[in-house]
């Protein structure tokens, strides 16, 4: 029997984890700022946040991103899970979720960061699998975690209140 389901991801979730030498709150502050998402995106599809997006996300926040995958498009996300300093998740019309979990380590000076792509609630999970997004997203998420670590180091070296749009991450 033919199945579109990728056996590597039986629960329709893929996650990557990295330990980062930074406090969880500093990392969370970057994740909760939609303007920083273009700097964090390891896939190369995020182009910019909308001018109308909030400066800081919270549960129920809606934020728009300009994207590009073959053609330019715009996507509106909703924050569906939010625990200050620990967890944030959003989804858009497709139903799949992007989740970030932060676990303080070593007296809070380090953080275990996990990014999760969860398509178990997607409108078309088979299509996501057919198009190879789980494996592609896994690769891109590894790059996103690396970019997050570099960006928090840069923000720390500049002082927490300064912008990093020219970081070149």
Q: What is the pTM of this model?
A: 0.87
Q: Give the helix ranges, DSSP H, for 59-132.
A: 125-130
Which pair of structure tokens corresponds to residue 43? 């896939």
Which contiguous run of DSSP H or E holds residue 63? Answer: strand 62-69
Summarised one tens digit per residue, pLDDT across range 25-66 is: 999 999 999 999 999 999 999 999 988 889 999 999 999 999
Q: Which residue, among 77, 85, 80, has the nearest Cα to 113 in the 3D structure?
A: 85
Kindly list the domain boundaries of the chain, sorted by start residue.
Answer: 13-158
User: What Cα–Cα distance (Å) separates residue 20 from each residue in 7, 13, 46, 85, 106?
Assistant: 30, 22, 23, 14, 11
Domain 13-158: give its CATH architecture.
Answer: 2-Layer Sandwich (3.30)
CA-CA distance, 33 to 152, in Å (whole number)?
13
Contact status, residue 72 vs residue 66, Cβ threshold 8 Å: yes
What is the number of other CB atoms lying within 10 angstroms of the CB of residue 55? 10
Q: How far apart are the first and last CA of the chain?
A: 45
Summarised one tens digit per residue, pLDDT across range 128-140 is: 999 999 999 999 9
Q: Token pair 């549960």 is at which residue? A: 59
């Amino acid at each position: 029997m033919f199945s579109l389901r990728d056996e590597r991801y039986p629960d329709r979730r893929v996650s990557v984890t990295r330990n980062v030498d930074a406090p969880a709150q500093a990392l969370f502050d970057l994740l909760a700022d939609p303007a920083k998402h273009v700097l964090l995106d390891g896939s190369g599809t995020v182009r910019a946040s909308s001018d109308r997006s909030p400066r800081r996300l919270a549960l129920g926040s809606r934020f728009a991103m300009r994207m590009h995958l073959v053609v330019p498009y715009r996507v509106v996300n909703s924050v569906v899970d939010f625990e200050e300093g620990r967890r944030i998740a959003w989804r858009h019309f497709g139903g799949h979720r992007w989740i970030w979990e932060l676990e303080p380590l070593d007296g809070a000076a380090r953080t275990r960061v996990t990014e999760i792509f969860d398509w178990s609630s997607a409108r078309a999970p088979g299509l996501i699998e057919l198009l190879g997004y789980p494996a592609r997203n896994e690769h891109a998420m590894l790059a996103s975690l690396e970019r997050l670590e570099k960006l928090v180091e840069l923000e720390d070296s500049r002082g927490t209140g300064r912008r990093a749009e020219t970081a070149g991450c």
